[in-house]
Amino acid sequence: MKQKSGKEIRMIALDLDGTTLTGRSEISPRTVEALHRAMEKGVHIVISTGRPWCSLPEAIFGIDGLEYMITSNGAVITRVSGRERIYENCNEPAAVESIVALLRGRGFSVDAFTDGQAYIGAAEYREMEKNGCAFRDADYVLRTRRPVADIFDFMLEHKARLENISIVFRREEDQKEVMRQLAAMDDITLTSSFHNNLEIGGPTTSKADALRFLMRRLSVDSDRLLACGDSPNDSRMIELARIGIVMGNASEHMKARADFVTDTNDNDGVAKAIERFVL
């Protein structure tokens, strides 16, 4: 049983969407104040998100004192000062080839992340531009993705540098079938950040593995870590942390993994967790 006292916490790892960010992709003043107060106590604040670097919201860069960002579900760690990459853990090239063979021609919505950018097939991008999308946030896609002629050719051309592959599904039965097929591969990590997607990383890629690297670098033990998240791609870092916090807006499955369930992302859940366990 993990101890629940957090007064000796020295690192806080924060997911973004559904966690630190409100539903309007903003950070509340109370959350910003809690983060600054924690930093004044010597606590390292680490953003740990499934987003690639290009998709990070401007609000994050407005928080003075942030040192490190974990992006693409743990594939990359960037030191904010100088934007220096200090860690990479990408997909295996052979696995990318297998994934392309599995997905090509099936009509799924596929994104590929490399070197901090997110890419999508040009035909799908133009369709969203013209007609929107019933199963994705078209505005977000158009704002954060770069179109390429063929996403699968692009993946093969960049197979040695792919941070993450995201598949978004129109139909739940397709998602279940592809999940079953991908689960048979032993050289990938499979997770998700929302209900109708799957995300593929390298065999050891996770937010938890990236945090372990960073904790070694900063001489912070896992019993000094607090982590907040809401989705399956946060599970490993929540289990790693001495105090694993799950948001009130998360699923019951995720809440069952928590040491503590805080309020929702729209009601200062992260701030309330920090105030209770750190400040």
Instruction: Give residue limits of the domains in the chain.
Output: 11-89+206-277, 93-201
Residue 6's pLDDT is 52
In this structure, what token pair is assigned to residue 57? 């919201």
* Residues in contact with 219: Cβ distance below 8 Å, sequence separation at least 6, in sequence order: none
* Banded model confidence at residue 265, pLDDT cuts 50, 70, 90: very high
Mean confidence (pLDDT) of the chain? 95
Report pTM.
0.94
Q: Angle between the 172-183 and 93-103 helix axes, to the nearest 10 degrees?
A: 140
* Residues in contact with 178: Cβ distance below 8 Å, sequence separation at least 6, in sequence order: 102, 103, 108, 167, 169, 198
User: What is 93-201's CATH number?
Assistant: 3.30.1240.10
* Banded model confidence at residue 218, pLDDT cuts 50, 70, 90: very high
1 pLDDT exceeds 50?
A: no
CATH topology of domain 11-89+206-277: Rossmann fold (3.40.50)
- Which residue, 220, 211, 227, is CA-closest to 13? 227
The mean pLDDT value for 61-80 works out to 95
Stretch among 7-16, 153-162, 261-270 having the lowest mean pLDDT: 7-16
Residue 3's pLDDT is 47
* Residues in contact with 12: Cβ distance below 8 Å, sequence separation at least 6, in sequence order: 35, 38, 43, 44, 45, 46, 225, 226, 227, 228, 274, 278
Rounded distance, CA 23 to CA 101, Å? 36
Rounded distance, CA 61 to CA 71, Å? 14
